[in-house]
Structure 1
Amino acid sequence: MKIMIRRAPDTGLCIYVPKKDLEEPIVESEFETLWGGWIKIANGWVLELPAMAADTRLPITVEARKRSEEESV
């Protein structure tokens, strides 16, 4: 699914999922740089992010994969 990741002044990093009209803060991540690992958002979803350079500028739209309940952190 396509998601947009941006830095919000009040919540820090957050994602927006256009198809679901969903905006949620990122509450946990596998790696400090985000890229190439998983992130967990406030509603409980765990998403796999593509590998990218650590200095990738935000906001950015990327293709992410939602983990199933069995795969979650």
Structure 2
Amino acid sequence: MKVMIRKDSKGTLSAYVPKKDLEEPIVSIARPQMWGGLVTLANGWRLELPEMAADTALPITVEARRVAGGED
């Protein structure tokens, strides 16, 4: 699914899923960097993000995969 990752002026990362009209803060990153790993959103969804360079500029729209175990 398409997901836009952005960082606000306070440095908080969030994910916006246009298909669901859902925007939630990213509350957990499973690896030292989020690219190529799992992130958890405030609503419980877990998303697997693609591999990208650590210094990738935000905001960016990526193709992410929702991983089982998150809330609907």
- TM-score (norm: length of structure 1): 0.89
The equivalent residue for 2:9 is 9
The answer on whether the counterparts of 1:7 and 1:13 sit within 8 Å (CA) in structure 2 is yes
The equivalent residue for 2:35 is 35
Residues 50-69 of structure 1: pairs in structure 2 closer than 5 A: 50-69=50-69
Whole-angstrom CA distance in 2 between matches of 1:51 and 1:21:
24
State the Cα distance separating 1:37 from its structure 2 match.
0.3
Q: Which runs of 4+ in 1 moved over 6 A?
A: none
Whole-angstrom CA distance in 1 between matches of 2:11 and 2:67:
23
Match status 1:47 vs 2:50: no
Return 5+ residue gaps in structure 2 as ranges.
Answer: none
The answer on whether the counterparts of 1:27 and 1:40 sit within 8 Å (CA) in structure 2 is yes
Return 5+ residue gaps in structure 1 as ranges.
Answer: none
The aligned length equals: 70
Q: Over the residues paired in the alignment, what is the CA RMSD in angstroms?
A: 1.4
State the Cα distance separating 1:32 from its structure 2 match.
3.0
Identity of aligned residues (%): 60
